[in-house]
Copies of this chain bind each other. A is one copy, B any other.
Amino acid sequence: MPALEEVRRELAAALPAAALIDDHARLRTYECDGLTGYRVVPGLVALPGTHDEVVAAVRSCHRNGVPYVARGAGTGLSGGALPVANGIVIGLSRMRKILEVDTVNETATVEPGVTNLAISQAAAAHGLYYAPDPSSQQVCTIGGNVAENSGGAHCLKYGFTTHHVLAADVVLPDGTAARLGGDARARDDGPDLLGLFIGSEGTLGIATRITVRLLRRPAAVRTLLADFGSVEEAGRAVSGIVAAGIVPAAVEMMDALAMRAAEAATGAGFTLDPARAAAALVVEVDGPPAEVEECFRRIVAVCETNAATRVRVAADPEERARIWRGRKAAFAAMGRISPDYFVQDGVVPRARLAEVLARIAELGEAAGLRVANVFHAGDGNLHPLVLYDASAGQSEAGEELSRRIAELCVELGGSLSGEHGIGADKACSMPRMFSETDLAVMARVRDAVDRDGLCNPGKVLPTPRLCGERIGPYRAHVVEEAGLGERW
């Protein structure tokens, strides 16, 4: 491995000793992200502390032809930070300075390793906060959020990461530095490279400094938890809220299985009788007090019209926090009711929610596996949790069911992913959703930025090496036409 050795030697000279990890036991910490089914031990981990150290690491990889993968907190759920064998991982966890909170322009400028929640905490004294709120917000980093265009429960009203990032300093795959975006709120100055970068899953470079828009904390918030006797009734309540012209801050749905697991883990107070609570909605409204009261009153009425068996209104901030803790812990809580699980992340047009849930139940039954559902109902963004037992040999069946659910979402006019990304997990499903032309354009654009194919290879785009026979006609055209061969 002379190339990797050369990178090791160069980085030993450029970075502090503590910033390099190369003993096997410690390297194993980096073998996967939140998608634990895929594991590759990297050849080396570098933990740069500054922009210049990131440049040094990328340049060294570029010079020596060694592939590299950027990593934030490793909470991603699609394997976007999965290492490449004999490649290096560039971890941004040491770059966690909050550089500025600008209260006049209402922005924060931070390093990529700052956690999502830390931005809101730094801004709180000024009545400001950062809106996108992934469930992992206490630990996930803003750099990872930018890579994945992360969402969260409140993105229904406030939009995704891409709607809140104003600028980023980026180290491009050849080690040069670019500044994408800027401080101005309105911008129409050439191709939107910042927009292209956000959500590119680490394939177009590494952000070393990020400026985000802050929002003023709403004056009032009200939250309710409503139980329904069937998923259909809960779905109709969601449609009713939307049809009433209300834009809640969040509309989350959980089914009975998800509530059972979350209750076991958090004691949030979910109803555990499936006859009375086959599904529950968490609905939140925020804004000026007068608006919040009016909207909240109408939402309660819509829930009652749609046969809610109970409407529990959070009486104080503690009760609100408890309900959200229950919702946000739902993924991890699956461990309480199943030895193993896959988190899926598909999207359907809102009007097809009831249909997709019925078909997911059928697919689960046919596969002999349970599927719990927790999701952002307002966006049509599903998170089916496929429960299985690896020790009973169910891994493959679980993975297959999860994959079929994602592809079902595409069939129904939706998307393979709403907020977790494509990563390593879904690259081979991309041809189900995109035409050969679409994929060829993606490949050419990526190639224009990452001309050596070293920046997070094997992610997002399908290639024959990655997908074998599964990608079918994609092989013949895209790869040849784009002249990329086994590039990524």
A interface with B by C-beta (< 8 Å): 104-106, 127, 148-149, 151, 155, 159-160, 162-163, 172, 176-180, 182-193, 195-196, 198-200, 203-204, 216, 219, 239, 242, 245, 287-288, 290-291, 293-295, 345, 347-351, 376, 379-381, 409, 413-422, 426, 430, 433-435, 437-438, 441-442, 444-449, 451, 460-461
Interface centre among A148, A179, A187 (most CB of B within 10 A): A187
Write out the residue numbers on chain B whose beta carbons fall within 8 Å of the beta carbon of A293: 290
Q: Known interface pairs A438-B179, A441-B449. Does A163 touch B160 (Cβ–Cβ under 8 Å)? A: no
Instruction: State which of B149, B192, B349 has its C-beta within 8 Å of the C-beta of A162.
Output: B192
**10 closest Cβ pairs, A-B complex:** A290-B290, A186-B418, A291-B291, A448-B448, A195-B195, A444-B448, A184-B347, A216-B245, A186-B381, A104-B351
- Chain B residue contacts of A445, Cβ below 8 A: 191, 193, 196, 445, 448-449
- Closest Cβ–Cβ distance, residue A372 to chain B (whole Å): 19
Chain B residues whose C-beta falls within 8 Å of the C-beta of A438 in the assembled complex: 178-180, 193
Given the known A-B contacts A105-B351, A349-B183, A444-B449, are A421 and B178 also in contact in the complex, defined by CB atoms under 8 Å? no
Instruction: Evaluate contact between B380 and A184: CB separation under 8 angstroms.
Output: yes
Asked whether A200 and B196 contact (CB < 8 A) given A105-B350, A413-B182, the answer is no
Set of chain B residues within 8 Å of A190, measured between Cβ atoms: 422, 430, 434, 442, 460-461
**In the complex, which residues of chain B have a beta carbon less than 8 angstroms from the beta carbon of A447?**
448
Q: Which of B186, B421, B441 contacts A151 (CB 8 A)?
A: B186
A366, B376: Cα distance in complex, Å: 58
Q: Nearest Cβ distance between residue A376 and chain B, in whole angstroms?
A: 7
> Which residues of B lie under 8 Å from residue A420 when comparing CB positions?
188
**A448 contact set on B, CB distance < 8 A:** 441, 444-445, 447-448
Q: Give Cα A116–Cα B196 distance, bound, in whole angstroms.
A: 26
Beyond contacts A189-B433, A190-B460: 4 other A-B pairs, Cβ-Cβ < 8 A, are A162-B192, A178-B438, A184-B418, A189-B430
Q: Which residue of chain B has the shortest Cβ distance to A420 in the bound complex?
A: B188
Query: Which B residue's beta carbon lies closest to that of A200?
Result: B191
Nearest-neighbour CB distance to chain B for A205, whole angstroms, equals 9
By beta carbon, the residue of chain B nearest A426 is B189
Note all chain B residues with C-beta closer than 8 A to A419. Answer: 186, 188
Pairwise interchain contact A193-B442, C-beta atoms closer than 8 A: yes
Q: Which residue of B lies closest to A416 (CB)?
A: B189
Are A186 and B155 neighbours in the complex by a CB distance under 8 Å? Answer: yes
> Given A189-B416, A448-B445, A349 and B294 touching (CB < 8 A)?
no
> Is A148 touching B188 in the complex (CB atoms < 8 A)?
yes
- Contact, CB under 8 Å: A422 / B350: no
**Residue numbers in B under 8 Å from A461 (CB-CB):** 190
Task: Kindly provide the distance from the CB of A360 to the nearest chain B CB, expressed in whole angstroms.
Answer: 16
Hey, which chain B residues are within 8 Å of A417, CB to CB? 187-189
Q: How distant is the Cα of A448 from the Cα of B444 in the complex, in angstroms?
A: 5
Chain B residues closer than 8 Å to A239, beta-carbon distance: 104
Would you mind naming 16 contact pairs between A and B with Cβ atoms under 8 Å apart?
Answer: A106-B242, A151-B186, A179-B434, A184-B347, A184-B415, A185-B381, A186-B347, A186-B381, A187-B417, A191-B445, A192-B199, A192-B200, A288-B291, A290-B291, A290-B293, A444-B448
Task: Give the chain B neighbours of A160 by CB distance below 8 A.
Answer: 186, 188
Known pairs A186-B380, A191-B446, A196-B196; A177 contacts B437 (CB<8 A): yes
Whether the Cβ atoms of B348 and A184 lie closer than 8 Å is yes
Q: How far is the CA of A239 from the CA of B103 in the complex (A)?
A: 12
B148–A183 contact, CB under 8 A?
no
A104: chain B residues at CB < 8 Å are: 239, 350-351
Instruction: Give, as a whole number of angstroms, the nearest-CB distance from A209 to chain B.
Output: 15
Q: Which residues of B contact A426 (CB under 8 A)?
A: 189
Among A106, A176, A183: residue with most chain B CB under 10 A = A183
Query: A245-B219, A437-B172 known; A188 and B418 CB under 8 Å?
Result: yes
| Residues of chain B within 8 A of A376, CB atoms compared | 186
